[in-house]
Amino acid sequence: MLKNVTLGQYFPGESLIHRLDPRTKLLATVALIAIVFVVQGFAGFMLIAAFVLACAASTGIHLKFLFKGLKPLMFIILFTFILNLFFQSAGNALVQVGPVKITDTGLRMASFMAVRLILLVVCSQLLTLTTSPIALTDGLETLFRPLQAIHFPAHEIAMMMSIALRFIPTLMDEADKIMKAQKARGANFETGSLIQRAKAMIPLLVPLFVGAFRRAEELALAMDARCYRGGAGRTRMKQLKFGRIDLLAAAVLVLLLAAVILLNRFVAF
């Protein structure tokens, strides 16, 4: 059933990367993405790929999950690849059919862009695979807390995200139930023209929204009953604390950046 699916793609574990502070992981992912953009040649990519794969291997997560996230983006990656391949006129022609030609520079550019995109996706994938959604929201809330000084609602946004995460499986389950009930009354969600199908959704959406509002009201009451008064004066049971491993992670990233810069300088590939 739908409710048995954990949301996001978090894989619980005890590895070094799992134990990193979520803020470290968030910042590290941003840094890693920045480093990917610093890279100028394939040598740098190979280094980063090796690094990411080593990280992934240390978490004990099967590599296939790491690349699963590529599937929905395959189209964009391919599109970028082809665009670069065909519309690069500089360089020596490798293949030429009529006005369309593929040059060596084009092939290099296309592969470069594709690899860059793949690395970007895999990096963020590593973050969501090793960090629970709740830790992610906590991390984001703490990172954005300084912005509260300029009235940025960091706590409210984090609370909303956390409630959304909590209720998405519940609402999916409910949608499934309502759909079955309306099907039992002869509803047809699968066939018909686009307009007919859109109309067929009304008996699903109205009860779903009514239900969501009812739940929201009850939840608000339950939160009131447990003394919720917004973010002011609130403490957290789990305090985010930077430890030695976070320092280590920062050091590793600095080294990685240095290595990439050196590779850019001295290796032409």
Tell which one of 238, 244, 266, 268 touches another protein (CB under 8 A): 238
**Nearest approach, Cβ of 44 to another protein (angstroms)?**
37
Sort residue 100 into left (φ over 0), alpha (ψ -120 to 50) or beta. Answer: beta
Tell which one of 236, 244, 266, 268 touches another protein (CB under 8 A): 236
For residues 93 and 101, is the Cβ–Cβ distance under 8 A? yes
**Nearest approach, Cβ of 89 to another protein (angstroms)?**
49
Tell which one of 169, 250, 259, 267 touches another protein (CB under 8 A): 169
Positions in 172-211 near another protein (CB under 8 A): 174, 177-178, 180-188, 202-203, 206-207, 210-211
CA distance 2 to 171: 10
Amino acid identity for residue 198 in this structure: A
CA distance 228 to 236: 13
Cβ closest to another protein, residue 120 vs residue 171: 171
For residues 253 and 35, is the Cβ–Cβ distance under 8 A? yes
> How many residues of this chain bind another protein (CB under 8 A)?
54
Residue 267's φ and ψ, nearest 5 degrees, are -115, 125
**Nearest approach, Cβ of 187 to another protein (angstroms)?**
6
Cβ closest to another protein, residue 96 vs residue 188: 188
For residue 103, give the H/E element and its range.
strand 100-103
User: Could you tell me the CA-to-CA distances from 103 to 14, 92, 97, 112, 153 in Å, in that order?
Assistant: 48, 5, 12, 14, 51
**Nearest approach, Cβ of 113 to another protein (angstroms)?**
35
CA distance 175 to 40: 48
Cβ closest to another protein, residue 3 vs residue 19: 3
Tell which one of 96, 228, 251, 252 touches another protein (CB under 8 A): 228
Binding mask 106-145 for another protein (x = CB under 8 A): --------------------------xxx-----------
CA distance 230 to 227: 9
Question: Which residues contact another protein (rule: CB under 8 A)?
Answer: 1, 3-7, 12, 132-134, 162-163, 165-166, 169-170, 174, 177-178, 180-188, 202-203, 206-207, 210-211, 214-215, 218-219, 221-229, 233-239
